[in-house]
Chains A and B, each alone.
Chain A
């Protein structure tokens, strides 16, 4: 049985791999001037999970605005405000990564394979309860 560390590392690397594949597809389709209706990013299943994540991970504009605000504000003021803002931003990105992975691995296959919404909700609930119990068991030392 794999350890929890290996499972987490596998999940993270697999998530990066899947997003790299999707990013490659989107870039290829965008660069080839494909019709908007034939682009994968315009499909509801993909755009719900990937578009929000892409905008969240796009840090260029955020970094530019942070640089602008840093240059405008005197160094003795608002230092705490800047640190809190950056922490909230990274937390939001982490939340979007987790919800994006959840959408890609759980919601998207269920939607594509035609699973009923009631069954999908039941499976999601069972998975979430199992995750919560697993975290509790690890926290209590029942599982190494």
Chain B
């Protein structure tokens, strides 16, 4: 249970690994011990991209806009999560969570731009 909703996740085990499983089967292996493994990895990537862009902008221009950096990072995370669903490492329910949260961040940024 997460936020009142039941999240369907994949629980692969070692039986899914064979010579046909490929990189997707290997990467989805951590989901067997913790279903939100790749969700947290994507969250970490989002934080890294946001802060990197923010401090880079601050260093170049002198001032940065954290909301702008967060929204651009959200675009990247939505794309990465889409690739994750294709590889089978991100479930569609987590993907929708990512899409909704990213849409909210992008929407706030969009309305804050003059």
Contacts and interface: CB of A to CB of B under 8 A. Distances in A.
Interface in A103-123: 104-105, 108-109, 111-115
Given A18-B106, A34-B86, A114 B4 contact: yes
Interface stretch (B50-58, B61-69, B88-96): B88-96
Contact of A45 (B85, B96, B111): B96
B86 A39 contact: no
Nearest to A26: B82
A10 B4 contact: no
Contact of B110 (A17, A39, A114): A17
A98 interface: no
B5 A109 contact: no
B109 to A, nearest CB: 10
Interface range on chain B (Cβ under 8 Å from partner): 20 to 34
Contacts of B88: 38
Contact of B99 (A14, A25, A34): A25
19 contacts: A14-B110, A17-B106, A17-B110, A18-B107, A21-B103, A24-B82, A25-B82, A38-B88, A38-B92, A40-B85, A40-B92, A42-B92, A43-B93, A104-B103, A108-B100, A109-B103, A112-B5, A113-B3, A114-B4
Interface of A: 2, 7, 10, 13-14, 17-18, 21-22, 24-25, 28-29, 32, 34, 37-40, 42-43, 45-46, 104-105, 108-109, 111-115
